[in-house]
Structure 1
């Protein structure tokens, strides 16, 4: 399934490029990414996904939390450095998160640990955030046990299932400007 996630993510990036050309982000010379398409102009820089030669791992999170981590999490976050992808899934407007560089990947892992500790404290099932929603109280997450993609209310848990798995979700997501 992990290969399907990586392939579906690559296809989503390509659909985004075809839709709007090279996406632009604010340029920060102190927070560079191999995904950047230089030169920066007017404080903005274009980006295209940059496939990491060696995928990032979430084994350290599994060890730190003493729990297994669904393998789709590493497939999703560990293979590319890229900008975030705005999109829509069945009428839900969201921003698909991606690590910009190695420092951002490490921060993402720390935030995932914090998210997990909050869920444990609230006695909610384990899930991993994938995207933010316009309504900041909702998140798109990966259920750690089943691999389903969920819509959750922050601190409250599952609202519903969006897709049976991450590859399906990525194939159905529509990128937007």
Structure 2
């Protein structure tokens, strides 16, 4: 399934590029990424997904939390450095998160740990966040046990299932401006 997730993510990046050309992000010289493609102009820089020669993984998170981590998390966050991808899934506007560089990948892992600790404290099932929503109280998450993609209310748990797995979710996610 991991290979399907990586392929679906690559397809999403290709759809994004066909839709709007090279996406732009705010440029920060102190927070550079190998995904940057164009010289900064007006404080913005173009980017393309940059495939890591050695994929990142979440084994360290599994060890730190003493729990298994669904392999799709490593697949979606560990293969590329890229900008976040705004998109729409069945009318839900969201931003698919992506690590920008190694430092950002490490920060993402720390935030995932904090998310898990909050869920444990609230006695909620383990999920991994994938995307933010316009409504800041909702997240798109991956269920650690089933691999389903869920819509979740922050601190309250799942609202419903968006897709049976991450590859299908990524294939149906429509990038938008």
Q: Does the TM-score normalized on the shorter chain lie above 0.5?
A: yes
After TM superposition, give the deviation of residue 138 of structure 1 in Å.
0.1
- Give the Cα separation in 2 of the matches to 1:39 and 1:80: 20
- Residue by residue over 1:13-58, the C-alpha shift from the partner in whole angstroms, topping out at 9 and shown as x without a partner, is 0000000000000000000000001311111000000000000010
- Give the Cα separation in 1 of the matches to 2:74 and 2:115: 16
- Residue by residue over 1:55-113, the C-alpha shift from the partner in whole angstroms, topping out at 9 and shown as x without a partner, is 00100000000000000000000000000000000000000000000000000000000
Match of 1:133 in 2: 133
**Contiguous gaps of at least 5 residues in structure 2:** none
- Residue by residue over 1:138-177, the C-alpha shift from the partner in whole angstroms, topping out at 9 and shown as x without a partner, is 0000000000000000000000000000000000000001
- The TM-score with structure 2 as length reference comes to 1.00
**How large is the Cα RMSD of the aligned pairs?**
0.3
- Give the Cα separation in 2 of the matches to 1:72 and 1:86: 20
**Contiguous gaps of at least 5 residues in structure 1:** none
After TM superposition, give the deviation of residue 115 of structure 1 in Å.
0.1
4+ runs of 1 displaced by more than 6 Å? none
Secondary structure of the corresponding residue to residue 40 of structure 1:
coil
- Give the Cα separation in 1 of the matches to 2:165 and 2:104: 25
- The TM-score with structure 1 as length reference comes to 1.00
- Give the Cα separation in 2 of the matches to 1:171 and 1:39: 31
